[in-house]
Structure 1
Amino acid sequence: MSKYHLKCLSCGKEYEDDHFRMQCDAQHEPSLLRSVYIDKKLTLHKDKPGMFRFYDYLPVERTIEAKGVPVTYKSTGLAEYLGLENLYIIFNGYWPEKNARMDTASFKELEAPSVLARISEHNRDILVVASAGNTGRAFANICSSNKIPLVLVVPEVSVKKIWSIRPFNECVKLICAGGNSDYFNAISLAGAITQLDGFFPEGGARNVGRRDGMATTVLDAATTIGKTPDHYFQAIGSGTGGIAAWESYLRLTEDGSYGNGNMKLHLSQNHPFTPMTDAWIEGSRDIAPMSEEEAKEKIHSITASVLTNRKPPYSITGGVYDVLNASSGHMYSVTNPEIAEAMDLFEERENIDICSAAGVAAGSLIKAVKNKTVNKEDHIALNITGGGENKLRREHDLHFLNPVLSISEQEIGSDGVTKKLENMFAAVL
């Protein structure tokens, strides 16, 4: 008997996992599935590698090579500056002095291992992942280390974000959506590839492996603090990390060892590309339509380019709207200057650099303190979703993954793209 099953959040139908189920078979509105673990008690398995110490709450029956794990510590410097008594930093990145050893310097390194370990060892098809940068770097690194075939699709502007401190294994192939393409174009191109024989999609927010992997941030915070946080701050692009945080909180509540207080979600986006923030402030379950031209103009104007999903899982049952509503949460819009200020402040007070997306989250915390949305004695968790990259670059030589194929923005949606992909793959795979 499996240690978990999947449950539809719309109709309640339950499924035994077939290693890659993404949705309910029943006819109803779009809905996420959620993993339900038989053993409600969380046991830490410190003998298992990296994030697999939280094995009981991961939808896997095996482990793979992966050493990255969140590191939660109580802040002194930033906490003192903000006047907070119980600020905890969930650090995801490269900071060996804190035992933080994510070699991609991003918490996306928590997604890839659980997604990959969920796949059957007997699978022979090739995984396809679309990314704006950090997710792709994580999958490329973990697949390379474990010799798992991968086709990674990123916008041309994100090619420079696919790097490693070790040479990549040839099992990993990079394809770019060329020209002015963005993340949405990369998703479309990845979708076309998965229509070919021998390829299958990673699944994004619908994949419980991805969500439960990211949920380990809250697990680490709760086991460090001794209770679930009163407030959880994170920047979002798709919002999958926010959904995952709430699902983790629900499991810890069922465990019963980490208190019974509510955990408010505080999620943030980089102004002016703030489709979910705008919808939430308007009280709407639906994101307002945005033309491709307007979306790309806003996307190209923001600092945190990884936070740019044009079609996030906001409205879907179990998605961002629902978890914000359930947690009585908040959303924030953080400008580029506010991000820069927050990044500088964090490095000055905590002695480590952070990425721009983490700067969005830190900026939202500064706003919450100024607006008295949080109290000084509250237990607050700030998810630093990426940090230490500058330190890592100083200490290691980087290896970059070069694209084997490039498909123009115009070709991606054309009728002939399938045939062109078939011909190209025949030459490079």
Structure 2
Amino acid sequence: MNETCEHIAEQTIPQEDTRPKRMTSALILLSFCVAFLMTGFGIIVPVYPQRLQALGLGAETLALMEAGFGLGMFLFSTPMGTLADRIGRRPIVLLSLSGFIVTNIALAFVNVPALFILIRFVEGALVAGLFPVASAIVGDSVTPEQQGRWLGILTTAQAAGTALGPGVGGLLYQAWGFSVPFLFSAGLALVASLLALFMLPETLPAHVREKARLRKTEKQSGAKSARGDMLGLIWLFAGLFVIDFGMAFTYPFALPQYPFFFEQTLHYTAAEYGAIISVFGLAMGFFPMLLGGLSARLPRKLLIIVGIVLSAAMNVGMLFLHQYPLLIASAVLTGAGVALIMPALGTVYLSETNDENRSQAMGLRGSVISLAILIAPLSQAAVAHWITPQITFAISLAIALVVTVTACFVLKNQKASAPQASQV
């Protein structure tokens, strides 16, 4: 009985006494860390092609580098999330940021193609834990009513960093050459690491970490339990994984066709195409913060389904709405749709988890998304010679339809069980 009372006290006292001020500051700090890291990602994007070209390398090496990064993310997102449920969230955040520092310093000085690919794989593996753990920290720290808002803020931080980085990277490259953008990117990650080291608290309760350590001593039974836990999570979230996979697959599959379709079929300039992509990026950055809180006021199922429908707007525009203002509007609607989906879907995941499996569940989700992003462009490359851009856009719309139908069926049960699970 005493142990039960202590267990309850450990769970309830932090929520009531320490969360409001301390955790708000911690989540703001976490958002800055994500923004810094994603700015660092963006900074080096325009430098890669120039660096490879100077070394006599081409698109094949660049494709292998990006595939290596995606493979690292896919393979290690779940293990990193699982580890965060055992040793805590904070060590994984620090590991991800430190790994980004080291790999960018290495990329600044390496000139061997095979090492480029290897380093990008290692970078993907080390960074894989940051985003699942960031979502888990939200689940640890705030009430279900506030989770959508904070997930929206994290999404905004991610999008803002991604949008800002390439411009900064291009300026740094033009002014100081190849190495400086990588070193500057590492410097941003260093700032984020120092902030996390001194200001980010551990949100995984001590009794959960102690329980994980005790279970680790029972290696055989622990291994069986771990496998069972993971299979249980995969089964629980199978429908949500279909939604995430479809949403993550759609645009990487269609994106390679966009610039050619704009130029050769719609006869728009590269600048006009770039403006539409920029509008989409701005919408992705602005709307999550604005709309993330809706998941506390409106049914999450409704938000997700409406978001899926809106997110298909750009491909609808490609097929039917070829006037430039309508294409701009479709980009805005697509960004708004993603902004509705991501926080609301994230809260569904969090509501079905507890302190012992929250980060692992978000890691599994990260692996599903990484897999979709990895194979989508490869799928387009495999079929591009046999299908037209219009067929590509139609396939993307068909995927959106399948995802919508899946959401209609899956989210009925998810909505009903969410309040109960959130109390686990």
Q: More helix per residue: 1 or 2?
A: 2
TM-score by length of 2: 0.24
Q: More strand per residue: 1 or 2?
A: 1
Query: Taking CA–CA contacts closer than 8 Å with sequence separation of 6 or more, which of the two structures ends up with the larger relative contact order?
Result: 2
Determine which structure has more spread, i.e. the larger CA radius of gyration. Answer: 2
TM-score by length of 1: 0.24
